[in-house]
Structure 1
Amino acid sequence: MTLVQRNRLPANCLGNSTYSSTIYRMRRQTWWRLPAVLMLISEWTQYIKSQEMTVFPPENIIIDDTGCLGPLYIHWTAPASLVNLTDCSMRYHLEYFNTYQNRWTVIRTVRTWYSAQFDLEKEVRVRISTLLRGACVNGTELMSPFTEIVIKPTLTGPVGSRIQNFECVFYQKQFMECTWMSGSEGPTHSQRSLHFWHQGMDRTEECPRYIYSNELRIGCTFSGKSLPEFTDLNICVNSSSSRVPLRPAFFSLQVQNHVKPAAIETLHLEAGPDRGLAVRWELPQDSIPSHCLEHEVEAREEGVDEQVLERNRTRMMSLTYSLTDGVLRQCFRVRSRVHWYCADRGFWSDWSNWSCYPDLSPGSESNALVICAIVISLILFMLILSLCGWALWKKWKGRQGKPALYCSLHKLMEYSKTIHVITK
């Protein structure tokens, strides 16, 4: 039998067993980490390659005025170098400065156009870039530099010729009045014209009914049916003066934010248990839903030495107060406005008339006396009829011939005079 002897290293080359096992573990850890290292190298290579691709911003950017007193139409084309891309998706990052909110508004879209509302009395600032995502950029998303466009307003006439104190009030959602004052510069008797537009209109129109003062236009009245809510109403007030150009004024508003409710007409004050006083009111016949209103109640306590004023807000139709000792009367009045649930803002209605408890008006005492006199007269009249009926019945029952008429016409007249004296 032949034995095969393995070659063995000298003992001094093997070293100790601890050193040998450490080398084995290091080799094993390096082997398992190798795929992760290769993956990092691959991702870094892809990132370097993606950075080599240049993404260009959109081209042929044009901003058109649609003639609707504020909305501008922005359109552009894709960069020529990226038109034939098939392995990447392309969209656009658009920003425009919203002068109504004093901040930039950001839009991301795959379309090559966008329409936005601008204040034509201020600069129009728009900037656009291209966004690429997909295989052409190795799964990342790249953004091009911005292309920015700034358009200065082209306004004629002196700054002081622009109208001042423009305000619109939507009364009870039935009609709206917009009023203004003339500027400090320009001809004294220059006539103003108002034009308006909203999304439900094909073109701009002139004010349906002007408000005049000394033969000059100082405002415009709109019918409530022609004013949609939650839609921008664009208004331009310019001049029809042929002698000197006057500066136009542009406004954009939503009518639900300018509502003024009708004043409350009826208040009820009712004393309850535990010296409580309930204050209730009724809404006028109005087109504003009750859940859209909030109310403010003003309470005034009339005492001997001083008057205390208190205000409370509620969305209910009543409030309960406590009767105060040493106070002659407690008086209340109410006003309303549209709550933020239905609009961003609104106008307070006019205050209702004061209602006080107890009611010390002259009419209240005379009315109470009249009611008491009527009640007493009715009681006496029923009593007289009962006595007459009882007398007739008693005479008839006694069978003493033809019953005598104890209640003659003369006696009835006497009773009537007595009733008349009592009522006086």
Structure 2
Amino acid sequence: MLPALLLLLGAAVLRGADTLPDQNLLLLPPVNLTIVVAGLARALLRWAPHPDQVRQNVTVDYHVRIHGPQEDEYETRSTVSTCVAPLHQGLSASVRAIVRDHGRLQAASRWVSAELEPPPGPPGTAAVNLTCTTNTAAGDGTHAARYQVSLHCAWRAGEAAPADTQYFLYYRFGAETHECREYSRDSLQRNIACWFPRTSIHSKRRDRLAVLVNGSSRLTAIRPLDRLFALHAIDQVNPPRNVTAEVQGARLSIEWQKPVSAFPSHCFDYEVQISDTGKAYVQTEKRTVNAFTSVIDNSSRYCVQARATVSTTCRAAGLWSSWSPPFCLGSDAQKPSSKQLLMALPAAVCFALLVCSLVCRGCHLWTRLFPPVPTPSSNLGDLLAMSYEKAGSQDTETVVISYVDEPAAETLEHTEF
């Protein structure tokens, strides 16, 4: 019995030794590494094992390192690898062969490298400031098209682009690539924005959106521009629907429905804003459910609004929606406050005085109520004659008094009655 156990133990040790990598194992680097464009913002890397590599009882993996435009590294057992990255600045990568034992690196070859040259075109001719947003709308009601995602992108023409440059936009999501059909143009009739009312984008998937803007000109080559967008970073969430409020005594109850979105109800966070219009007071609350109750002064007028964002439990943090239209209730609008009355009283008094002044001026009431007081002349020499009538029994006698200025003295001449 004991000899048999020793034989079995020895066989097991020999089998284990055969599976261990040779400490003197020499790994040769891969050969024929190439990088080619395989689609919009997608490159294909290919290589082959070294033909002189000695076959041993080990598993050879490959360590891939992307140097630019975005650094990345990973391991694979295949000799073909797809790299998703912007390619308008070219791409460089390196590959080496490795052997691991229980996660620990046991042997590695030297690196081999290759480069993908940037597309042709002078600097400054490519489009700049490329931005994109997505939005979800209700579909045709069928289960397959319950929601429809639109896409809007905008950019500016490059500073060195000739005046006859024309730009064109393409997007890729998953395996599907589409060309824009609806453009907006600048004053030189160059395309500077694109609108896709319907796309193949699925907002719940984690694929990145690839967008390419290339161009053409009769004078020079136009360098393309491509970018990758994470959907959560560009998705413009719709505001909550059917926001309603009700006052019961001193309690304000607010309810709403989830936004139009492919995400279910539990995937949203909300903010509720309550505005007291009479006191210029705003209260903001965060909620994970579509209802909220607050204690209020029921003699005031209130307006409520809500906005939403997709929760981090369902995808990475993204944008908040715009606020929903305000829903107002209460009677404070018919009860002006004392502050409003104090502000309105001086204005009313000034307006009444202005009206009275205009009426009096138009009807000459000031002249009738306050006639002007006559004043004597300051120069007696300007008074040439003064006459008055003396009433008699039958005739009227006239007396004329004349004043003559003399250098030495003043003489008064008169006639007798």
Residues 1:320 and 2:293 aligned together: yes
Corresponding residue of 1:300: 275
Number of residues of Structure 1 aligned to a counterpart in Structure 2: 300
Task: Give SS of 1:159's match.
Answer: coil
CA radius of gyration, larger in? 2
Residues 1:121 and 2:94 aligned together: no
Q: Which of 45, 51, 59 pairs up with 1:80?
A: 51
Task: Give SS of 1:114's match.
Answer: strand
Q: Give the AA of the match of 2:107.
A: L
Contiguous gaps of at least 5 residues in structure 1:
1-48, 363-424
Q: Deviations over 1:247-268 (max 9, x none)?
A: 3210223546533233445322
Mark the CA change 1:294 to 1:189 in structure 2 (over 3 Å): closer, same or farther.
farther
1:130 is displaced (CA, Å) by 1.4
CA contact (8 A) 2:67 2:91 kept: yes
Residues 1:105 and 2:70 aligned together: no
**Counting helix residues as a fraction of each chain, which structure ranks higher?**
1
Q: Deviations over 1:74-105 (max 9, x none)?
A: 111112332x4143332222222475xx5433
Residues in 1 aligned to 2:193 and 2:211: alpha-carbon distance in whole angstroms:
12
Q: Which of 110, 113, 122 pairs up with 1:148?
A: 113
Residues in 1 aligned to 2:174 and 2:213: alpha-carbon distance in whole angstroms:
19
- The 5 A counterparts of 1:11-26 are none
Task: Give SS of 1:291's match.
Answer: helix
- The 5 A counterparts of 1:14-413 are 52-66=24-38, 68-82=39-53, 84-97=54-67, 99=69, 103-107=71-75, 109-132=76-99, 141-159=106-124, 161-172=126-137, 173-188=148-163, 190-201=165-176, 204-212=177-185, 215-228=189-202, 229-255=205-231, 257-264=233-240, 266-272=242-248, 275-283=250-258, 287-304=262-279, 307-324=280-297, 328-359=300-331
1:140 is displaced (CA, Å) by 8.4
Mark the CA change 1:296 to 1:213 in structure 2 (over 3 Å): closer, same or farther.
farther
Q: Give the AA of the match of 1:249.
A: L
Corresponding residue of 1:3: none
TM-score using structure 1 length: 0.61
Corresponding residue of 1:419: none
Q: Give the AA of the match of 1:113.
A: V
1:272 is displaced (CA, Å) by 4.2
Residues in 1 aligned to 2:217 and 2:223: alpha-carbon distance in whole angstroms:
11
Q: Percent same amino acid among aligned pairs?
A: 20
Task: Give SS of 1:226's match.
Answer: coil
CA contact (8 A) 2:33 2:113 kept: no
Corresponding residue of 1:403: none
Contiguous gaps of at least 5 residues in structure 2:
1-20, 138-147, 335-417
Q: Deviations over 1:263-315 (max 9, x none)?
A: 44532222346x332221234666553333322222323345xx333332222
Residues in 2 aligned to 1:52 and 1:281: alpha-carbon distance in whole angstroms:
70
TM-score using structure 2 length: 0.62
Corresponding residue of 1:10: none
Residues in 2 aligned to 1:150 and 1:183: alpha-carbon distance in whole angstroms:
26
Q: Deviations over 1:38-72 (max 9, x none)?
A: xxxxxxxxxxx955443222122111222x12211
* Aligned residues: CA RMSD: 3.3
After superposing the two structures, state which structure 1 stretch, 122-131 or 150-159, moved more. Answer: 150-159
Residues in 2 aligned to 1:123 and 1:140: alpha-carbon distance in whole angstroms:
31
